[in-house]
Structures are given as structure tokens and as C-alpha cells.
Amino acid sequence: MVSSTKTIVISGYYGFKNSGDEAVLKSILTALEEQGKAAGIKIEPVVLSINPEWTSSMYGVRAVHRMQLGEVRRAIQESDGLISGGGSLLQDATSPKTIPYYLAIIKIAQWLKKPTFIYAQGVGPVNRKIFNPMIRSVFRKCSYISVRDIQSGELLQSMGIRSEDIHIVPDPVMGMPLPEQNNEELADLSVSGEEELPVIGISVRFWDKERRELNAIADALTDLARKRPVHLRFLPFYQPEDEQASQYIADKMGDITSYGGKISFYREEQEPQDMLLEVSRCDLILGMRLHSLIYAANQRVPLIGISYDPKIDHFLKRLDSAPIGSSQSLVPADLTRHLITMLDSLEAWKEEHSAQITQLKQESQNPARHIVEFLGNRR
């Protein structure tokens, strides 16, 4: 039984059709709905998006343009609070404008006397020290702070945020379910079920200007294909760049059918859960994109990470793992050996990491639970 309705504005990197960030939004919306139902509270989200029409159509929620600050202010004014997150919002590696924007959105809510919640963010890197006092000032006024890894928490502590005010939680996507129409219908569509070849899902992106990591991956996969037949399934998480990076590797590899293998591309994604389903069909994931690795863990698919950013290392550490290499240093022979080792021990990997993954999935609901409880106690 619903006892009240609460409107919450959600700020993040939404509407850009980046599969990982859209998965974060889908996961937050799902968790808020589930926790709201459990508490007898109807949560009405309003999403700040670069493409409000698309976001509204995709998720069935109200959305306003994230760059129309008049609309943003009105939405926050009419709400019961603001969520900032998840994802890597507070970092200046991609642009010096990112941190000021997201802090400004939180500050608007605080000026309007609305509670503000930091939802499973990955904080950093923050290379420009001028941002530290800005983050400290805004975060100290937040009603709840959660970050997705210990390192983000330590960075906030170094800026002057008390450790007791910081909650370490998993990435929200650890709790995202498969599409509702799965089970028998979707089992019939399983990629790995169509053939005897092991399916390796591959998520890559452009990062190193000289493409050293992509060249190394191409060399390693070519060597692997010579040694055993595999189905290499490229999974572009961000269009069109990731598909171009994938095609770059495929072009370098050439035809592997003479070795009994095959290469394919997944291009049918309509929403984040589609990609999650595609990952679930793979036997092994080789990923640069953080959320390719999180999707794999979500579905208990063995994974190998290649680091281009500390967030990759931080997530893998939660699984007592480490990247096989980085965008600056990746040895093809090492990657080939590791791929073969993993292919020969898939069930052992699943058994070894089962308890960790179960705990991460359960804990991924903590921010939504806390926020719903907070809103439920406000009259």
C-alpha cells in the first residue's frame, strides 16, 4: 500500500546513449522503485538528460534538459530531493568542465533547501587541486554520500570529508536484472547455445593515441585463434567510437575462419538490459569498458580486465583480481596465455567468485534503501 509519493531529481551523464551510464540510470530507477514499494512510497523520478525525449521514451519517466538551468531549477524546486550519480561524475580527466557542472547541480538543490544524495559515485581522478575545496564544501552539506570503491572514499577523506559520512557500496549496475522476457524464450537465443565454440565477448575503446593496447589485443586474439577455435563477439558500449575501435582490431586480425573461429559484432542494443543479456550469453568477457566487466560480474561470467583508468583496477580489486595489463603496457603473449587459462577454468572462476558477487549484488541496493528511508521520514 502506497502511503505517500516522493519526487526525486536524478543528475548524471544521461541521454548520451553510453551503454554503461544508461545502465547506471536503469539500475538506480529499478532500485528506487523496488525500495519504494517495500516502504510503501511511490517514487517519481525526474531525470536530467541531454536528450529528454529519448530518456522519457526509454524509461517511462519525466526528463528535463540538463543544460537548461531554468528547467533544472524548476524541477529541483518541485522535488523532494536530488540524487547525483552514479558513474564517474567528479573527475577532470575528460574535461575541466565536468566537476563544476555536477557540483553546480547539487549546489542548486542545496540553495533550494532540498536534501542531496551522492549515489555510488566513482570520485576522481581530480588533478586540479582547485576543485578539492569546492567538492568538500558541497559534499559536507549532502544528506548521504556513497561511493563505489574504497579509493573514492579515501580521496574524499583527503579533501576533508569525514570517513563516517562515506558509505562504500558496489556500482549500481551490479543489481540490474535481465530483461523480463528472459528465461526459456531468451535461452533459445543464447549465442553460446548455437555452437560449440566458446564465445569471448570483447569490449574495447580508443584511449592510447598510438593504439598500443588495441594492437596488442589484436595480436593476442590472433594468436589465440591460431591455437584454438573461438567465437570473438565484439560488444560496443559507446557508439560509434567503440564499434570503430572494435573494427580496428578485427581488421588487424583478418580472417580467422581458416582456424575454425569466427568474429561477429553486436549491434542490436536498444536499452542497457539488452547488452546485459548479450554479456550473459558469453563464456568469457575481455573488457576495457568498466561496465563490460560489471555486466560480466552481474551475470557471473568470467572476466579479464584491461586498465585505462584506475576505476578498472578498483572494481577488479573488489573481486580479488587485477587487470592483465593497461593501455600503456599490455603484452600480447601474456594476454593469450591468460585467455587460454581462463577458458580452461571457467567453472572454477565462477565458484571462486560466487560469494563475492552475491554480496555485491545485495549491497548494490543500499543507496536506494537509505534514500527511500530518508524521504519516508520527512514530512
In the chain, what percentage of residues exceed pLDDT 90? Answer: 89
Main-chain dihedrals φ then ψ at residue 196, nearest 5 degrees: -90, -15
CATH superfamily placement of domain 4-169+364-376: Glycogen Phosphorylase B; (3.40.50.2000)
pTM confidence score: 0.88
Find where cell 525525449 sits: 53
> Which has more pLDDT, 343 or 271?
343
pLDDT tens, position by position, 215-242: 999 999 999 999 999 999 999 999 899 9
Q: What is the pLDDT of residues 145-163, one digit of tens each?
A: 999 999 999 999 999 999 9
Using an 8 Å Cβ cutoff, are 217 and 335 in contact?
A: yes
Alpha helices, H only, 88-240:
98-111, 131-139, 150-158, 184-187, 212-227
Residue matched to cell numbers 580479488: 320
Domain parsing of the chain, residue ranges:
4-169+364-376, 184-360
pLDDT digits (tens, 9 = 90+) for 316-325: 999 999 999 9
Distance between CA atoms of residues 293 and 327, nearest Å: 16
Do the Cβ atoms of 123 and 91 come closer than 8 Å?
A: yes
Decide if 230 contacts 197 (C-beta within 8 A): yes
Rg (CA), the chain: 21
In contact, 29 and 59? CB cutoff 8 Å: yes
Same fold, 4-169+364-376 and 184-360: yes
Output the pLDDT for position 236.
96
Task: Report the alpha-carbon distance of residue 228 to residue 1 in Å, rounded.
Answer: 57
Cell of 121: 559515485
Length of the chain in residues, anyone? Answer: 379
95 pLDDT higher than 90: yes
Degrees (nearest 5) of the Cα angle 81, 110, 54? 50
CATH class belonging to 184-360: alpha beta
Helix (H) or strand (E) holding 268: none
How far, in Å, CA of 81 to CA of 125, rounded?
27
